[in-house]
Chains A and B, each alone.
Chain A
Amino acid sequence: NAGVTQTPKFQVLKTGQSMTLQCAQDMNHEYMSWYRQDPGMGLRLIHYSVGAGITDQGEVPNGYNVSRSTTEDFPLRLLSAAPSQTSVYFCASSYPTSGRRSEQFFGPGTRLTVL
């Protein structure tokens, strides 16, 4: 298994540009989510999905859109990039359970700079 993959690894945008961060997993996980991590901070949830066709907002959703057309993919779209969106973005996936196999798997991250 490749686990959770994210592309690109690095990206520089100008203010106002839009782009899509890609996330894919090959573990057949129903649950997928996006976090951002600012320097010296913990991760904050942006959006999440409990299955194909179902998405919902996390704690910092403004300026981001998501869609979930397949179980495997969960892209994050920046509508009009702002310097405040400079951050490291992590995608995660898991089974929606609390017992064994409930751990979330994280991707390697996308480092985004908005000038």
Chain B
Amino acid sequence: DAKTTQPPSMDCAEGRAANLPCNHSTISGNEYVYWYRQIHSQGPQYIIHGLKNNETNEMASLIITEDRKSSTLILPHATLRDTAVYYCIVRPPWGSGNTGKLIFGQGTTLQVKP
């Protein structure tokens, strides 16, 4: 399984965009990049995922570099409720020995400040 590297913590001003980086230099060609977050000991919450192309949904945008060795999660207008631990996870597709396991590293603690 590809490993990911994230900064341990980041701050962001409320209303500003939060840009959370993730390095995954050993990612394989068919592995997906997933982002989850965990707000204060609640169950993790899915945010977004992608393979090669940039993705956007109602929560965030995911920018994956062309070589796929890194990605950035963008929360366009961070609010205090976005304060959480954000996890970047690389996962192989189903049907390729994937057990569905999500490997959670230490993540990035994002603190949104007023």
Contact = CB atoms under 8 A, between A and B. Distances in A.
Interface string B69-101: 000000000000000000100010110001111
Interface of B: 32, 34, 41-46, 49, 87, 91, 93-94, 98-107
A106 B87 CA distance: 14
Interface in A85-106: 88, 90, 92, 94, 96-98, 102-106
Contacts of B102: 35, 43, 45, 92, 104
Contacts, number: 63
B19 to A, nearest CB: 22
Nearest to B91: A98
Given A97-B94, A98-B93, A105-B46, A88 B41 contact: yes
Contact of A103 (B42, B49, B107): B49
A96 B100 contact: yes
Interface of A is mostly: strand
A25 interface: no
A106 B43 contact: yes
Interface residues of A, number: 29
Given A42-B107, A96-B94, A106 B101 contact: no
Nearest to B31: A98
Nearest to A105: B46
Contacts of A103: 34, 46, 49
Nearest to B85: A42
Contacts of A104: 44, 46, 100, 102
Contacts of A96: 94, 100
B15 to A, nearest CB: 27
Given A45-B101, A48-B99, A98 B94 contact: yes
B22 to A, nearest CB: 14
Contacts of B44: 43, 90, 92, 104, 106
